[in-house]
Structure 1
Amino acid sequence: MNANNNIVIAIDGFSSCGKSTMAKELAKKLGYIYIDSGAMYRAVTLFCIQNGLVTNGVIDEDRLKDEMRNIKIEFRINSEGRPETYLNDKNVEQEIRSMQVSNLVSPVSAIGFVREAMTRLQQDMGRRKGIVMDGRDIGTTVFPNAELKIFVTASSDTRAKRRLEEMLRKGQTATYDEVLKNVEERDYIDQHRTVSPLRKADDAILLDNSHMTLEQQDQWLYNEYLKAVKK
């Protein structure tokens, strides 16, 4: 651990578990940098959609590989102190949360050269420590030596309801059945992909937040942070 006691906090888990919400709140409380790795894969997916790299749900991997050098992803802090995702200097925070992107992000994330590129970028972002990063393989692949690893889960029904509520709040249209199907399909793809499949790291702490309030899970996570910095 470095001199100023900053650590790397890796939060992995299934889609729509509230990982990002937890991670953002903890980062804000600690004065850490928050990095949404899922948003990075969503940005690549949005790039594919915008540039005609998807036909009938199939990604043109050869063209995407050639285009990877033209994909610039970064996070910028907004006026409320929250990070927002930028793709090639354009704010895409809302666009990447659409159902269209959600339906394609797992297949895009399963492409080896995409994961390699995003992993390198994430590792560069985290070299100075003092970060909270959430995703699918942060504690297993990106930061296997993170001082604190959390693995979050919840029932698919709970996650679908949470995701639908979030989408409706943002003015997006979807049905419960559509969202539940998307959640279950993403679970399967994330766990069965060849490169960096979703799994709990051996030293990660399991959190099932199916029946927890936001305040309860935030306090739980902060308590785990306090334990980690004392080690």
Structure 2
Amino acid sequence: MEKITIAIDGFSSTGKSTVAKQLAKELGYVYVDTGAMYRAVTLFAMRKSYIDDDGFDKEGLVNDLSQIRLRFVFNPEAGFAEMYLNDENVEKEIRQMEVSRFVSQVAAVPQVREILVAQQQEMGREKGIVMDGRDIGTVVFPDAELKIFMTASAEERAQRRFKELQERGEEVTYAAVLENVQQRDELDTTRKDSPLVKAEDAIEIDNSHLTLAGQFEKILELYEGTKK
């Protein structure tokens, strides 16, 4: 069966990565979490003190982009590929709330997006890929055969993220997580370069009240529909 490109975009904490991993595994496709790439660059910027609560030295980060090497390494125990930054496994660290606070600002830098989009397009050159992010169906793969746009209420997304962080042992409050979700929505949808928007030919799925199983079955049906 001829392989296709599947682009899954949407707001933060809508479960894009979860369903994308499921779909890739079911179809035997490659899965790429573009959010992990932007998070890794953010972690790099934080470690180099280019970004913190006092400001953002964009020029410093841009000048240092050549020092960033990103790659995904499959972890057979976890069942998915983990993010490596300069040969260091940073999968757990990039998921922390501290990184979430700054990732939208870093992702808005045109030079960062230019470099990462080029890498993402190269990854999907042979098709047979499921990629999730903010601009996959609009910028990275505008010709993708299947485009999904996922959304849910900010309150529901914050509750999911809050539960996830608690399970990891992070000390956070629901109010802080909700504020972060709302701030990221604002930054993602209003940035000048590749803002988060629904592609005209994308199928929107509001999963505020969908179970993970229901969501997966719905998207799998959409995939099957592309084969008819």
Instruction: State the partner residue of 1:118.
Output: 116
User: Are 1:76 and 1:83, in contact at CA under 8 Å, matched by a contact in 2?
Assistant: yes
Letter in 2 for 1:79: P
Instruction: State the partner residue of 1:204.
Output: 202
Task: Give the total of aligned pairs.
Answer: 227
**Cα distance in 1, alignment partners of residues 189 and 102 from structure 2:** 15
**Cα distance in 2, alignment partners of residues 57 and 138 from structure 1:** 31
1:20 corresponds to which of 17, 24, 27: 17
CA-to-aligned-CA distance 1:121-170 (integer Å, 9 cap, x gap): 10011101100000000000000000000000000010000001111112
Q: Which moved more, 1:46-55 or 1:200-209?
A: 46-55
Q: Secondary structure of 1:116's partner?
A: helix
Instruction: State the partner residue of 1:9.
Output: 6
Q: Are 1:47 and 2:38 matched, yes or no? A: no
User: Are 2:51 and 2:102, in contact at CA under 8 Å, matched by a contact in 1?
Assistant: no
What are structure 1's unaligned runs of at least 5 residues? none
Q: Percent identity?
A: 54
User: Are 1:57 and 1:104, in contact at CA under 8 Å, matched by a contact in 2?
Assistant: no
Provide the TM-score with structure 2 as the length reference: 0.97
Instruction: State the partner residue of 1:162.
Output: 160
Instruction: State the partner residue of 2:31.
Output: 34
Q: CA RMSD in A?
A: 0.9
What are structure 2's unaligned runs of at least 5 residues? none
**Cα distance in 2, alignment partners of residues 229 and 64 from structure 1:** 44
1:147 corresponds to which of 130, 145, 150: 145
**Cα distance in 1, alignment partners of residues 56 and 29 from structure 2:** 35
Q: Which moved more, 1:151-160 or 1:169-178?
A: 169-178
**Cα distance in 2, alignment partners of residues 57 and 205 from structure 1:** 40
4+ residue segments displaced more than 6 Å: none
**Cα distance in 2, alignment partners of residues 214 and 224 from structure 1:** 16
**Cα distance in 2, alignment partners of residues 218 and 206 from structure 1:** 14
Provide the TM-score with structure 1 as the length reference: 0.96
Letter in 2 for 1:41: Y
